[in-house]
Amino acid sequence: MPAPSSQLVTAKKLDWRRLGGLQPYQTLLDKMEATVASIRRDGANEAVWLLEHHPIYTGGTSAKDEDLLAPGTVPCIHVGRGGQWTWHGPGQRVAYVMLDLNRRGKDVRSLVRGLEDWIIASLGQFGVEGLRRDDLPGIWVNTGNGISGLDKIASIGIRISRWVTWHGIAINLNPSLDAYDAIVPCGITDGGVTSFSNLGVIVSMDDLDQALKEQFPKFFPPLP
C-alpha cells in the first residue's frame, strides 16, 4: 500500500512527508502499518510523516479505563503504542516516525532519548526550554503549576514491530487544551498540559515543521 500523497522531500533513506488538512486516525494507522511492513520486508525508505488528526482520544498499552473521564462524543480507541491516554486534534503537530532499528542499533533507550533530544532542540529554536522527567516519557516545561510545577508540552508513544518503529511524538502548538479535561493525560496527576500558545509563544505550524526537519538528522543521521 503506498504512503499518502502529499508534499514530499526524499533524503537518503528517509521519506519526509507533510500531510495537509485533518487526517482520520484509523486510515493513517493502516497506512503507517503498511509502510512499516515494507521497511521491514523490502528495505523501503525510513519515513517521518507530519500531520494533524481529527479529534480523538487514544489509549496506549498502559491506559487505564478509570483515566478516561468524560470524552463525550469524541472517539476513543485503544492502540498498540506505549503510554496511556492522550488526545490528538487540531493545533497539535503529530510526527509519525518509522525507523529501522535493525540498521540503527537495537537500543530502545537510545531511541527514546533521541526523540526527546529532537523535541528539546526543536522547542529551543523558539526559546522554549523543554525538560525531561525521570521515567516519564515526553517533554515538559517549567510553568510553576500543579504539584510538580511542570506542564507537559510534548508526548512520546512508540511501538516497535520487529525492530521497526511506528507511532511517534505529538507537540502542542495551539490546540484547545480543554480537550485534556476529559482524561488523565498520560496518567500524570501532579502536572498539567500546556502548549506554545498557552506559554505566549506564537509560532506557525510551518515554522515548527521546519525546526523539526532541521533538527531531526542531528539525532537520527541518514543511513549510509
In angstroms and rounded to an integer, the radius of gyration of the C-alpha atoms of the chain is 16
Look at residues 28, 27, 141 and name the one whose alpha carbon lies nearest to residue 95: 28
Q: Is 186 designated active site? A: yes
- Check: CB of residue 139 under 8 Å from CB of residue 153: yes
Put residue 135 in one of left, alpha, beta given phi > 0 → left and psi -120 to 50 → alpha: left
Residues 6 or more apart whose CB falls under 8 angstroms from that of 199 comprise 128, 141, 143, 153
Cell numbers for 189: 496527576
In angstroms, rounded to a whole number, what is the distance separating the alpha carbons of residues 95 and 97? 6
For cell 526537519, what's the residue? 213
**Catalytic entry in 44, 120, 169, 186:** 186
Compute CA distances 180 → 85, 111, 149, whole Å.
10, 27, 18
Compute CA distances 74 → 23, 56, 139, 179, whole Å.
15, 6, 25, 9
Catalytic residues: 186
